[in-house]
Amino acid sequence: MKPSKTNQTLLRNARIVFPDRVEKRDLLVRDDRIAPSDGELPSDGFDEIDLAECRLVPGFIDVHIHGAIGVDTMEADAAGLRRISEFLATQGVTAWLPTLVPAPDADYKQAIAVIGEAMKSTAGARILGVHYEGPFVNSAQCGALRQQYFRSFVNNDSLDSLPRLANPAAVHMMTVAPEVEGGIELVRQLKRRGWIVSIGHTRAEFEVLDETLTAGARHMTHFMNAMAPLQQRAPGPIGWGLLRDEVTCDVIADGIHLDRHMLELILKSKGSERLMLISDAIAAAGKGDGDYQIWGETISVKDGRTRNSRGNIAGSVISLLDAVRTMESLGVSEVDLAHMSSTNPAKLLSLDGECGSIEAGKRADLVALNAEKKVVLVMVNGEVVLPAA
C-alpha cells in the first residue's frame, strides 16, 4: 500500500459519477473521506493525481463471492482472504462479503474464525462480514451447492448453531428458500437478529413469497438462477420477483448465467434502482481455464464457463468489473451502473450512509476507469491501493 505524503489527495479532471449526474470536476479526499465540494483547498499541501480522460466511480461492492486467484472462502486462512481482497481491489472492488456454501459445523466455524481475523486487516478491498448461501435452501434447486449439508429450520437452535462474527459492525447476510421446513419463521428470526435476508435456491410459490415479504425478506439471490422457472400457470419466484416493486434482485451478468435478453428483461422490469450486480465468483476466478478442486469436487473452467461433475454451472469466474462492462454493453448509463455496482449493494447492507456513492462525508472508496474501461486507480478508505507503490 502506498503511504500518502499527506492525508489529503486532490483527484483532478475526472468525470465524476455522482448519484444523479456525471460532472467533470476535481474531488478532494481528506483522510478516509470525500471532502465537501465547496471547501477551500488545503493550504498545508496535498497530493495530486490527474485523472483526465477517466471516469471516477464509487468502488464496487460484491455481496456474493466464494473466492478468487485459487483461494476458496471455505478453506482459506486469513492471509488467503487478504490475497483475495488485494486481487479484488485491482478489479475495482472496494468491499465484499465472503460467501459460504453449506458445510458441516466445523467448516463453518473455521471459515468464520478466519473471516473475523481477516477483517482486522486493511489490505485491499474491505471485508464487510459474511454471506451464508444456505444451508436452509431447497434441494431441488441446489445448483452447485452440496445437498448433504442442507438443513431445515426446526427451532432457534438450528440458527444459533451457525457461528457469527464477533465484530459488532460485521454484516450477516443469508440466502434462504422460504419453502423449507420452518422457512418463514427462519426469516423472522434472522430479521430479529439484524441479518440481511435474501431469497434464493428456491421453488417457493407466490403465496409463500408474499408471506416471506411480510416477514421481512425483500431481496433475491442470483435472480433467475437456481429458481423454479417462470411458467404460464406457475409464476413462482421469477414471476414474483419481476412483479413485486418492493423486491430487489441481484444478477450474475457474466453473459453465461443469464442470456443478454434476460438481463434486458430484468432491467426493464426492475429498473436500475432495484437491480444489483454480483460476481458469484469461485476460487478459479483470475486463474484462467483449467480444472480446480473446489467444494470436494472437480470444477472445470472452459472459455469462462464453470462446470461441476454433475454438469451444473458452478458459479462464475468474473469480477464485478466484468459485470459492469456487460451491463454497459446493454446501454446502461454510467449513473445507473454506479447504482447497480455500488449504491444498491450498500443500501441492501444498510451501509449507504457510509459508502456506495460519491458524496461528501462518505468513505473514499473510489475507482477510476480509463476510456478502455480499465481500472487505473483504486482508493480504499482514502488510501491508494492501485497502482501499487
Q: By the criterion CB under 5 A, which residues form the site for Zn ion? A: 133, 280
Dist CA 347 CA 63 (whole Å)? 11
Dist CA 14 CA 33 (whole Å)? 17
CB closer to Zn ion, 133 vs 365: 133
CB closer to Zn ion, 252 vs 368: 252
Smallest gap from residue 309 Cβ to Zn ion (A): 17
Point out the residue whose Cβ comes nearest to Zn ion.
280
Please pick, among 280, 322, 352, 365, the residue that the annotation labels catalytic. Answer: 280
222: Cβ contacts below 8 Å, ≥ 6 apart: 64, 200, 250, 251, 252, 257, 278, 280
CB closer to Zn ion, 294 vs 384: 294
Smallest gap from residue 316 Cβ to Zn ion (A): 9
Whether residue 280 lies in the annotated active site: yes
CB closer to Zn ion, 199 vs 364: 199
Residues linked to residue 251 through DSSP beta bridges, in sequence order: 277
Smallest gap from residue 144 Cβ to Zn ion (A): 8
- Which residue is associated with the grid cell 419453502? 179
90: Cβ contacts below 8 Å, ≥ 6 apart: 375, 378, 386
Dist CA 220 CA 366 (whole Å)? 27
| Helices marked H in the chain | 78-90, 105-118, 156-160, 183-192, 206-215, 236-243, 260-270, 320-329, 334-338, 344-348
Query: Hey, which residues are catalytic here?
Result: 280
